[in-house]
Amino acid sequence: MTTLTKLGAVLLSGVFIAALSVDMALSIDTADARERSRSGTWQGSRGGSGTWNQSVQRQKGSSSRQTSVTGQNGKTASRNVDRNWDAESGTASATITKTGPNVGTRTTSQSSTLNEGGGYTTNRSTTGSGGYSGSATRTVTPNGDGSASVSGSYENNRGRSADWNGTVSKTEEGVARSGTYTTGSGGSGSYSASATRTENGVSRSQSVTTENGGTYSRDVAGTWDPETQTYTRTITGTGPNGGSKSRSVDITVTDPGTE
């Protein structure tokens, strides 16, 4: 995998388990719930199906979310996220552990600190199966006009690295960001992304354009149907030649649990 491909994966990739952890949380989670467990089924457009379960615990200054997904073949993937924050000191931290039958275990430790004059800096490090290790840093600085400047870098022990600079700003219904990147192998290009909260879900668009003018894009639409208790997520990827592929998954809550 080239550095550019890796960068594209960082900017554009998304997996079903992350959708379950993040998109459903945005759409149907209860913000003031202290403890909650729920479970259900999932059905993919390409024939896959299975079950899922999720538990969330919250208390002052911390939260924990455990999500697992099992396929019809009996294989299970999981994603656990533990977060801590201290408003008085202006610090926050998180530990994210992912496991899967094909990727083993990957653990990311992340810390964020408020900077003088506003904004914050986040540092993260990741270790995984097969001796993998990587690190990244990201600094966000307010511009005073409602937007912020963002700069960051990434590298791993397999010789891949990238740096990027851009801006992020609020929109009427969400957030938008854009900027440029360079890779350790000499590649460069631009990126853009937006996230919008819709009437019944979330919509995201992302794209990366290389120095050769080729553009890779990924659009994600998530909708929640309260009557059927089903969250539908549709992903469409388009390559520089204009060809595109789509897939979708229906995530149904069969046991909403208790709070």
Paired strand residues for 64: 57, 82
| Predicted confidence band of residue 30 (pLDDT cuts 50, 70, 90) | very low
The tokens for 39 are 């479970």
DSSP assignment of 65-119 equals: EEEEEEETTS-EEEEEEEEEEETTTTEEEEEEEEEETTTEEEEEEEEEEEPTTS-
pTM of the model: 0.82
Range with the poorest average pLDDT among 6-15, 97-106, 176-185, 238-247:
6-15
Using CB atoms within 10 A of its CB, is residue 43 exposed (0-12), middle (13-18) or buried (19+)?
middle
pLDDT at 34: 85
What per-residue confidence (pLDDT) applies to 18? Answer: 45
> Residue 149 in contact with residue 133, Cβ under 8 Å?
no
Question: Structural domain of residue 178, as residue ranges?
Answer: 3-255
The answer on pLDDT for 210 being more than 50 is: yes
pLDDT given for residue 257 in this prediction = 81
> For residues 250 and 235, is the Cβ–Cβ distance under 8 A?
no
29: pLDDT strictly greater than 70 = no
CATH code assigned at 156:
2.40.160
Q: Would you call 130 helix, strand, or coil by DSSP?
A: helix
Alpha carbon separation from 187 to 136, 155, 181, 239 (Å, rounded): 18, 14, 8, 18
Give me the amino acid identity at 26.
L
* Stretch among 33-37, 85-89, 90-94, 112-116 having the lowest mean pLDDT: 33-37
Q: For 71-87, what is the mean pLDDT?
A: 96
Residue 259 has a pLDDT of 62
Please check the confidence at residue 192 and state whether its pLDDT lies above 70: yes
Report pLDDT for 165.
Answer: 98
DSSP 3-state of 52: strand
Residue 52 and residue 76: Cα distance in Å, rounded? Answer: 9
| pLDDT tens-place string over residues 9-21 | 333 333 344 444 4
pLDDT above 90 covers what percent of the chain? 81
Residue 7, pLDDT above cutoff 50: no
CA dist 135 and 127 (Å) reads 9
- Per-residue pLDDT reduced to its tens digit, 95-146: 999 999 988 999 999 999 999 889 999 999 999 999 999 999 999 999 999 9
Q: Which among 33, 32, 49 has a CA at the least distance from the CA of 41?
A: 49
User: Contact at 8 Å (CB) between 3 and 65?
Assistant: no
For the chain, the domain total comes to: 1
pLDDT class of 27 with cuts at 50, 70, 90: very low
Average pLDDT value over all residues in the chain: 89
Mean pLDDT of 55-74: 96
| Range scoring the smallest mean pLDDT among 66-70, 132-136, 197-201 | 197-201
